[in-house]
Structures are given as C-alpha cells and as structure tokens.
Structure 1
Amino acid sequence: MSTETITVAIRAEKTQRVGWRGWAALIVLMLPVLLVSVDNTVLSFALPAIAVDLAPTSAQQLWIIDAYPLVLAGLLVTMGTLGDRFGRRRMLMIGATGFAAVSALAAFAPTAGLLIVARAVMGVFGAMLMPSTLSLLRSIFTDRDQRRFAIAIWASMFSAGAALGPIVGGILLEHFGWGSVFLMAVPVLIPLLVLAPLLVPESRDPKPGRIDAVSIVLSMATMVPIVSGIKELAVYGLASVAPILFAVGVGFGVLFVRRQLRRPQPMLDVRLFRNPTFSGALLVNLLSVVGLVGFLFFAAQYLQLILGLSPMNAGFALVPGLAAMIAAGLLVVPIARRVAPRIVVPIALLFSVGGYVAVSRMGEGGSLLLLVVAFVSLGIGIGAAETVSNELVLASAPPAKAGAASAVSETAYELGAVLGTAVLGGILTALYRTNLVVPDGITGEPAMAARETLAGASQVAANADPSLAAALTDAAGTAFSAGVTVTALIGAGLVVIAGVIAAATLGRRQ
C-alpha cells in the first residue's frame, strides 16, 4: 500500500464526534491499560517475598519475571490480527476474563514452576488486551482531534501505571502477602467485563483474510528469540547465546516478511512500513520508551539504595514526573492540531535530553530534588512524544487494520521496555562492576555479591562490620554514580536520535 493510498484512506474516513458514551467507553478501556502497565513494574517488589515462600532457583526467579513479557511480545501481532478478524471487543473480553482468572490462580501458586506457567498464560491473555484497547479507540474516535485527546489519555495511563507500580506494590506488600499483587487484577477487570458490552461498540475488519497459521508461528518465532536475545545480552554479554538468538529471530523475521508480501491478504501488511510517518512514529515510540524505562531503572535504585528511601517513598518521589508526563501528553493535543509533528516532537524531546543531562551531572552528591526535577523534564518530552507518535501510527494505517497497527505499536513499546532495562540497565551494571573497588576486609562470596549489583553491596554492608560497611557503601555509591553519569549521557544520545528521526520522517501537519 502506497503512502498516497494511505493518505486518501485517512481523508476519506467518515469522521463523527462522539458524545458521552464514547468518553465513558474510553474510561472502561483504560482499566486494562492501567492494570497491565502496573503489572510491568509491581512484580519486582514482590520477588523477595516470593523467593522466601516458594524458594525458586536463580533461573526460576528470572523466568518468573520474563515469562510474561516473552509470551506477550511474541503474540501481540497475532492477537491484534485476530481482533481485526473476530472482533476487537470480543478479544478484549476474552483477554480480560482469562487474565483475571489466571491472575487469581497465580496468587495461590504452590510452587515456582506453577507460578512461571501462570505468568506465561497471563502473557497470552495480556496480548489480547493491549492491541484491542488501542484499536477500539481508533474505531470509536473517528474525529482526529478527539482521537488525539483519547490517545493522550491512553498513553498517560501507561505512564501512570509504570510509576504507580512501586507505590501499589509497597502498599500491598506492607499489609498483605505476595499473592496480592496478582489478585488486584480481579477487582480492576470485573468492571470492564460488566461495562464493556454496554458502552464499547464492536468493530472488526469487514474483509478479513483466512487465518494464516504459518504466519502466526513465524511471528512468534521472530519475536521470542529477539526478546530473549536482548535479555541474554544484558546479563551475559556477547559470549552468551544472544547472537544465536538474534540470528534465529532475524531469519524467521525475513521468512515472515516474505510470506506477507506474497499473500493477497496478509496477516500484517508490511508495506505499511514503507510509509515514513508510520515507521518514524514507531521508532520514536520505541526510543522514547527506552529512555523512560532506562531512567526508571537507575532512578529507582538511586532513590532507595543511595538516598535511602523506602520503595513506597521512592515511588512517591516519581509522582511529579508522572504528573508532568500526563500533563504534557494532554497539552500537546491542541498544539499538534496547528504545528507539524516533525517540529512538535523534536522540541518536546529536548526536555527529555535536558533531564538526562541533568542526571549525568548529578554525580555522587546528587540530591532528591535534582532527580525529581530531572524526571519532570524527562516526563514532559516523553509524554508529548508518545501521544503524537501513537496517534500517527493509528492514523497512518487503514481503519480496517487498526488491530494489526495497534499490535505493532504495542510491540514497539514492549521492545522499548526490554531494551531500556537490557541496554541502559546492562551498561550501568557493567560500569558499576568495573568501577567498584571492594574494601580489603570483604572477600569471598560477600565480595562477589557486592560486585554483582548495588543491591548486593547494600545487603553485604548491612551484615558487615560498621567500618567496613561504611567503606563499602561509599565505594558502591561512587561506582554506581560514575555508571549513572555515562549511562545518562547514552540515554540522552538515544533521545536525540529519536528527535532526529521525528524531524526527518513525521512530515507536515495532518
């Protein structure tokens, strides 16, 4: 499909401004968005309690975290396409029912193995939820201005969930067991199951193609090895199986693309990527999420392990940045009506660059106020860029393929989240290990644990002689701060690249 054809489709689309039912439907659709985004960050706070109760091995602990995003990333495109065919609201209802039921089972998992299985099945149903919410917004809000505002709220819920995760996790774990972080899905999704049939209209592709089982398998065989490779590379470096996983994923990806190009009604119309606005918006989306998640990775550790805040108070410290992100996402809507995205997005991302630069100059003597201000600056840029880029992805695709386009956008988000932790987090961890000088009195396993992570050093210091504890704490803080300086500058560079891509590809005001 050519760029001209897509443009004609956008202009020919019937637009009608929605009333209160449309906005009520938006509120209902925000429930799964908020839940899934909270789930992305809350589980890490429950992992220590899970480790005590279920005694998982180190490999099982990784799989408890990774099983969900691996399955989710592998199935997003498939579930988005199935939603186009069978009905997006139907997929949303199936996903919500399954996610709530499996979450309740996960809360009472008696073994680590069963918890891993539950997390993987949650990924299946989670993949049904997210593309459905964004594609339904595309069908409900046909008026471009209203859709921009709706997507701004959608993106804000993602940001809100990511920042609320530590707060929600801290409150739940302070009063209840680790299963509570899974049980919270039930009261959130029950209102969705009741209200969605009443308020959310069904939509689907009027001319769906046949179900292509081969393409489904190829899409999963592409995404799962790539996501796994990113995680392996972050933990074990190039000496791991990461290069093999990348090669496998790329190989299946080539086969997937070739098959889509040959089919008259492909599962995913890869010709959409020839549209520079579509591709550019996806890259901006991905790099923005990398910047956000990478920042949160070291900010959470700095707040808790360097500045000594509790998990809940560390979460509250991020609230001003969250508020700035939401406000920027909403305020950019009227600006985007009048100013071209190739101007709006780069200017917005300058704020994010400023936030990263401020962190790079923080050093060991950084203060809570400086980190909060830096996150506010970062949030302004990310909030505006995410709203504009997500709206452009949907607007650049035909309405009948909204589910597939939404799934591609969601895949970019998931990859960005994985890359943010794996790349920026991996660089920070490597720099910390390189720069750390363990005091002479700490040897053996304690020394190895201190070199592994900042959290490990803090645990060793808590059980060491006071003089050695102070020396190790100072050394770990110095090493971590030095790593933050370099990592923040790399993060700033990635955001600059996102701004350059936006200026080159996002085009004029539409």
Structure 2
Amino acid sequence: MNETHAPSTTAHHPPASRPAPARADRRAWFGLLIVLGPVLLVAMDGSVLYLAMPRVTSTLNPSADQALWILDVYGFVVGSLLIAFGNLGDRYGRLRLLLIGVVVFGIGSAGAAFAPSPEALIGFRALMGLGGATLLPSGLAVLSELFPDARQRAQAIGIFAATFAAGFAVAPIVGGLLLSQFWWGSVFLINLPVVAAVLVFAPVVLREVRTTRAGTVDVLSVVLSAGGLLLAVYALKDAAAHGLSVASLAAGLAGVVVLWWFVRRQHTLEHPLVDFSLFRERVFAVAIVTGALSLVAWAAAAYLTGIYLQSVLDLPVLTAALLALPGAAVLTASCVVTPAVVQRIGKRAALVTCHFAMAAGLSLLLFTRVTGGVGWFIASTVVAGVGYGLSFSLVAETAVAAVPPSRAGSAAALAETSNEIGNALGIALLGSLAAVVFRLLGPEVAATLDATLHTPAVSGAAAEQAREAFLTGMHVAVAAAALACAVLGGLAARWIPAQRP
C-alpha cells in the first residue's frame, strides 16, 4: 500500500519538491564587477579614437581609406568572430576563453599605443579585436552561473548592458581628456591596469562554465563570415576614397557571394554558427536589427561630429569631449531604466520609441553650420541618447531571454555581434558616404578635411570650401541614418504585436 501511495503524494505537490534558486552572494556581485572590466574595455575601444583621429592623422599621416580602417577594423574583427567564440566558450569553457582574450587584448593595446605607422596601428587594432571577440560572449554567459536566481540575473544583465553602453558613450570623452595632456597612444594604455586586475582576480572569483553540447565550430563558416564582410567593406572604402574601379566592384561582388554562401551553409549544418531560426521570433529579429542600426547611427554621428567640433568649429579636444557629457549621461541613464520601462509599456512600445528618438536626435544635426552649432550638437546627443540607451539594453535582454542556458554564449554573441558590426558599419557605410560627398564637393587638395587643413600653404578659400564640403557630407550621412531609424520604427510598430504574453 505504501508503495502505491507515495507517488500520488509527490504528484499532488510538485512545486514543493523544487527548491528555489539560490540568491547571489558577495562572490557573485564581486564576480560581476570583474566581468564588467573587460566589457568596459571592449566597448570603449570601439569608440575611443573618434576624438583622437585628428591627432592620429597629423602624426601618422594615414590615407583616407587607412583612416577608416584604423577606426573600424577593430569592430569588424570583433563582430566577425563573436559568434564563433561564443560557441567555443559554450563547449570548452567560458572562463578559459575570457582569460585568453584578456591577454591578447592587452598585447594588442600595448602595441597600438606605440604603433609607428598606419599599417602597424591597423594590425594591432585587429589583434585587439581578436581578444575582444572572446570577452563579450564569455562575460555575459558567465552571469548565468553567478546568478541562478532569474530576477537577480536580469538585474545583472541590465548592469552589464548599461556598462557596455556607458563604455561606448564615455570613451570619446575619456579619449579627449587624455589627449589634452598626453599623446594619442595613451588612449590604449589605459586598458592595461584593467587587464592586470582581471588576470589576478578572475581565476579566484569566477568558476569555469561549459556545456556538454555536441558538435564543433565550423571553421569554414567563420572564414566565410569574416571574409565576406571584409571584402564588402573594402569595396565600399575603396570606392569612397578613389571612386568606382574594377577592383572595388570585383571585391564587392565577391563579398556578396561569400556572404550568400555563408547564409546557405548555415541551413545545412547540424550545429550552425548562426542559428537563423531565432529570427522567426519577430521581437527578437527586430531587436537584433535595432542593435545593429543603433550602432550604425551612433558610430557615424560620433565620428563625424568629433571631426566637426575640432576641425570645422576649431574647438580644443578637451572642450569637444566635455560637450559630449550630457548625451553620454542620458544614454547611460536610459540604459539603466530600460527594464523598468519595458515592464511598464512593453517591448513593442520601447522598440518604437527608441527608433523615433534616434531619428529625431540625428535630425537635429542638420541644423549645424560652419559658423556654429554647439547647441544643436548637445540637443542631438541628448534626444538620440534616449533611443540609444533603450536599444543597447533591449538587445542584450531579448537575446539571452530567448534561448535556453546552454545557448547563452551563442545568443549573447549574436546580440553583441549586432552591436559590433553596427559600430563598424557606421564608419564603413556612412563614413564612406560622407567621404564621397567631400571628394565631390571639396577643393581637391587632399582626401580628407584634416589632411586638407594641414596641407602647407593651403588658401583660406580652399580651407573654407573643405569645411563646407565636410559639413554637407555629415548632413547627408546623418539624414540617411535618421531615415533608416524612422523606417525601422514604423516597421516595428506594424510587425510586433501590441500585447505579448
């Protein structure tokens, strides 16, 4: 009788047999602090050069396309390898990958600080990207081990996203402060103390986390994704700097074909590098596209306005850095409060709001002039900062919440890939668009505004024409970004259901 009665008792009380997840202790919160160090570094180095580029240009004298590669080769390497390293961390250990990435990132930072030529700086920035690609998915996935309680884990992910957003936002300001006292390489040396701290404390505080999921990383997929992106971007940069040519057209066509091959291959693999089935969920799909587009807009605007403030309005680098503070503060605050906003108004309304806030903020830059525009710049960063903050936090939360814990590294990598690829594409696409306008309307003294202004014996009329041409190019680029944000906001309002369970 007892043998038949015991199972029925268990069946009537299933919740009582499941213990609640343990609450995080001090170790977990200290572990979060350690994880945030690499997150901050990776985010900052995506944008720390925006205010430093005039100084880099005058010292290393890069060509127009080399200057663009200095800015965005880091983002392309990070974005191209994030998904692969997310999978590697899932299988072979996230802590191990985190520590390897920190070492590589530190070596790249030290080399970039003392790079003697544009080619060397591009190479060391690529090495930093290789290290950075291991840090983001490993760091975010480790949080699932540190915070088993779902509510605390959501708080930790919010802090993670806010730190990532803050890194992007404050990096140009930190760079400007350093440049007011030191040489341009100092913007990379600030990484080394954080690298040292992570190497000392991470093995003590963090535990190794891996899954038992079968399968190996498809090397061909990694090569196809990275190669296709780089070929396509090379074509854009070469055409922007030198005009259309057989070489740029061939590279662009080859890039499209390779990326098409990559997408087709993912549908045939048992363990694809990119799980495109995740995009069947419309909220997830729109959020990932939002992550890419928001960084396209933010990166292009930050880069172009950095040059505008220093080379068009002739403001000191420290002043330019301080003018970015209000927008950075709003962006970070928006990212922090996003979970509460989403809980109140829903993901649909939050995604629509972020797009139209970005579009409105970018449109304010159209009122800037050669003779002035500081007020419009500040207003633009504040209004757009609301949208950027919502976007950065929504993308991370949506990606991780949409998958089981065993896929946390891969999903985190996909979310961060959208940001990093967006950051690099902002310079590649919109930066190249602005470069084309400058080449068509400029005085044909040099390929860039800074190079024109530093040309010996350049006439006052030519310098004024160069400033006007650059401003026109900036207006065309930000108008394109604003239009894209508004269109995606309208699509989000139409595609995403108003009520979600």
TM (norm. structure 2) is: 0.85
Written as runs of structure 1 = structure 2, the 5 A alignment for 1:244-323 is 244-323=250-329
Q: What corresponds to 1:448 in structure 2?
A: 445
**Which of 135, 159, 172 is residue 153 of structure 1 equivalent to?**
159
Which consecutive residues of structure 2, in runs of 5 or more, have no partner in the other structure?
1-17
Assess, with a 3 A threshold, how the Cα gap between structure 1 residues 386 and 237 changes in structure 2: closer, same or farther.
farther
For 1:86, the aligned partner's letter is Y
**Which of 82, 88, 91 is residue 85 of structure 1 equivalent to?**
91
Q: What corresponds to 1:493 in structure 2?
A: 483
Identity %, equivalent residues: 35
Q: Offset at 1:52?
A: 7.4
Q: Offset at 1:344?
A: 1.5
Assess, with a 3 A threshold, how the Cα gap between structure 1 residues 494 and 15 changes in structure 2: closer, same or farther.
farther
For 1:68, the aligned partner's letter is Y
For 1:343, the aligned partner's letter is A
Q: What corresponds to 2:391 in structure 1?
A: 385
Instruction: Tell me how large the CA RMSD over aligned residues is.
Output: 3.2
Aligned equivalents of 1:62, 1:480: Cα separation in 2: 15
Q: Offset at 1:327?
A: 0.7
Aligned equivalents of 2:47, 2:181: Cα separation in 1: 19
For 1:100, the aligned partner's letter is G
Deviations 1:30-82 (A, max 9, x none): 21122122222334666676677777777766655554344333322211110
Does residue 182 in structure 1 map to residue 177 in structure 2? no
Q: What corresponds to 2:45 in structure 1?
A: 39
Does residue 338 in structure 1 map to residue 344 in structure 2? yes
Assess, with a 3 A threshold, how the Cα gap between structure 1 residues 225 and 135 changes in structure 2: closer, same or farther.
farther
Q: Offset at 1:372?
A: 0.5
Aligned equivalents of 2:215, 2:419: Cα separation in 1: 27
Q: Offset at 1:111?
A: 6.2
Assess, with a 3 A threshold, how the Cα gap between structure 1 residues 421 and 255 changes in structure 2: closer, same or farther.
closer
The worse-fitting range, judged by mean Cα deviation, of 243-252 and 268-277 is 243-252
Q: Offset at 1:83?
A: 0.8
Does residue 202 in structure 1 map to residue 199 in structure 2? no
For 1:458, the aligned partner's letter is L
**Which of 70, 77, 83 is residue 71 of structure 1 equivalent to?**
77
The worse-fitting range, judged by mean Cα deviation, of 133-142 and 93-102 is 133-142
Aligned equivalents of 1:357, 1:454: Cα separation in 2: 23
Q: What corresponds to 2:141 in structure 1?
A: 135
Does residue 416 in structure 1 map to residue 422 in structure 2? yes
Assess, with a 3 A threshold, how the Cα gap between structure 1 residues 340 and 58 changes in structure 2: closer, same or farther.
closer
Q: Offset at 1:239?
A: 3.4
Per the alignment, in what secondary structure is the counterpart of residue 133 of structure 1?
Answer: helix
Aligned equivalents of 2:309, 2:99: Cα separation in 1: 39
Q: Offset at 1:400?
A: 0.9
The worse-fitting range, judged by mean Cα deviation, of 342-351 and 194-203 is 194-203
Q: Offset at 1:509?
A: 4.4
Contact 1:357–1:489 under 8 Å retained in 2: yes
Q: What corresponds to 1:442 in structure 2?
A: none
Q: What corresponds to 2:358 in structure 1?
A: 352
The worse-fitting range, judged by mean Cα deviation, of 158-167 and 301-310 is 158-167
Q: Offset at 1:287?
A: 0.8
For 1:40, the aligned partner's letter is G
Aligned equivalents of 1:183, 1:246: Cα separation in 2: 36
Per the alignment, in what secondary structure is the counterpart of residue 205 of structure 1?
Answer: coil
Does residue 228 in structure 1 map to residue 225 in structure 2? no
Contact 1:431–1:483 under 8 Å retained in 2: yes
Contact 2:54–2:307 under 8 Å retained in 1: no
The worse-fitting range, judged by mean Cα deviation, of 400-409 and 422-431 is 422-431
Assess, with a 3 A threshold, how the Cα gap between structure 1 residues 284 and 147 changes in structure 2: closer, same or farther.
farther
Contact 2:46–2:74 under 8 Å retained in 1: no
Assess, with a 3 A threshold, how the Cα gap between structure 1 residues 195 and 475 changes in structure 2: closer, same or farther.
same
Per the alignment, in what secondary structure is the counterpart of residue 46 of structure 2?
Answer: helix
The worse-fitting range, judged by mean Cα deviation, of 71-80 and 210-219 is 210-219
For 1:491, the aligned partner's letter is A
Aligned equivalents of 1:47, 1:356: Cα separation in 2: 22
Does residue 426 in structure 1 map to residue 432 in structure 2? yes
Deviations 1:296-345 (A, max 9, x none): 12211221122221122211111100000011111221121232211112
Contact 1:232–1:240 under 8 Å retained in 2: no
Assess, with a 3 A threshold, how the Cα gap between structure 1 residues 491 and 64 changes in structure 2: closer, same or farther.
closer
The worse-fitting range, judged by mean Cα deviation, of 335-344 and 267-276 is 267-276
Q: Offset at 1:504?
A: 4.1
Q: Offset at 1:97?
A: 1.7
Does residue 459 in structure 1 map to residue 449 in structure 2? no
Assess, with a 3 A threshold, how the Cα gap between structure 1 residues 396 and 227 changes in structure 2: closer, same or farther.
farther
For 1:38, the aligned partner's letter is M
Contact 1:342–1:504 under 8 Å retained in 2: no
**Which of 393, 402, 406 is residue 400 of structure 1 equivalent to?**
406
**Which of 362, 381, 387 is residue 375 of structure 1 equivalent to?**
381
Per the alignment, in what secondary structure is the counterpart of residue 272 of structure 2?
Answer: coil
Assess, with a 3 A threshold, how the Cα gap between structure 1 residues 362 and 112 changes in structure 2: closer, same or farther.
closer
Per the alignment, in what secondary structure is the counterpart of residue 448 of structure 1?
Answer: coil
For 1:330, the aligned partner's letter is V
Aligned equivalents of 2:164, 2:38: Cα separation in 1: 10
Q: What corresponds to 1:502 in structure 2?
A: 492
Aligned equivalents of 1:506, 1:145: Cα separation in 2: 25
Contact 2:64–2:448 under 8 Å retained in 1: no
TM (norm. structure 1) is: 0.83
Per the alignment, in what secondary structure is the counterpart of residue 339 of structure 1?
Answer: helix
Per the alignment, in what secondary structure is the counterpart of residue 45 of structure 2?
Answer: helix
Q: Offset at 1:192?
A: 1.4
Per the alignment, in what secondary structure is the counterpart of residue 345 of structure 1?
Answer: helix
Assess, with a 3 A threshold, how the Cα gap between structure 1 residues 62 and 480 changes in structure 2: closer, same or farther.
closer
Contact 1:337–1:509 under 8 Å retained in 2: no
Contact 2:438–2:469 under 8 Å retained in 1: yes
For 1:448, the aligned partner's letter is V
